[in-house]
Amino acid sequence: MQATVKPWIFETIDGLRDLTPQEVIITYKWVEENILPLLNLTKNDAIPVGSYGKKTNAEISSDIDVAISIDALTKNNLDMGPYHLNGIDAILQCHGYVTKQIPGFNQISFAAPLQSFGRWGFVQVDFMLSENLEWSKFIYHSPDFTINESKYKGVVRTLLLMAILSESTRNIISKDDNGNTILIESKVIRLPKGIYSTTRTFMGKKGLIKKAKLLKEHDKLITNDPLEATKLIVGKQYIPKDLSSFESIWKILNSHTFIHKEHLGLILDKFKLGLIINKLQVPIESIKDYPQIFI
Per-residue pLDDT at 15: 64
Which residue, among 141, 158, 138, has the nearest Cα to 54 in the 3D structure? 141
CA distance 269 to 287: 13
What's the whole-model pTM score?
0.88
For the four alpha carbons of 266, 155, 42 and 241, in that order, the dihedral sign comes to positive
Per-residue pLDDT at 12: 55
Per-residue pLDDT at 17: 85
Q: How is the chain split into domains, by residue range?
A: 21-130, 154-294
- pLDDT tens across 141-167, in order? 999 999 999 999 999 999 999 999 999
Per-residue pLDDT at 293: 97
The CATH superfamily label for domain 21-130 reads Beta Polymerase, domain 2 (3.30.460.10)
Per-residue pLDDT at 13: 60
Low-confidence ranges of the chain (pLDDT < 70): 1-15, 81-82
- pLDDT tens across 66-111, in order? 999 999 999 998 777 668 999 999 999 999 999 999 988 899 999 9
**Could you tell me if 84 and 130 are in contact, meaning their C-beta atoms sit under 8 angstroms apart?**
no
CA distance 295 to 292: 6
CA distance 196 to 70: 19
Give the 3-state DSSP-derived string for the chain, with helices as H, strands as E and coil as C.
CCCCCCCCCCCCCCCCCCECHHHHHHHHHHHHHHCHHHHCCCHHHEEEECCCCCCCCCCCECEEEEEEEHHHHHHHCCCCCCCHHHHHHHHHHHCCCCEEEEHHHCEEEEEEEEEECCEEEEEEEEEEEECCHHHHHHHCCCCCHHHCCCCCCHHHHHHHHHHHHHHHCCEEEEECCCCCEEEEEEEEEECCCEEEEEEEEEEECCEEEEEEEECHHHCEEEECCHHHHHHHHHCCCCCHHHHCCHHHHHHHHCCCCCCCHHHHHHHHHHHHHHHHHCCCCCCHHHHHHCHHHHC
Q: What CA–CA distances, in Å, run from 276 to 64, 156, 175?
A: 25, 11, 30
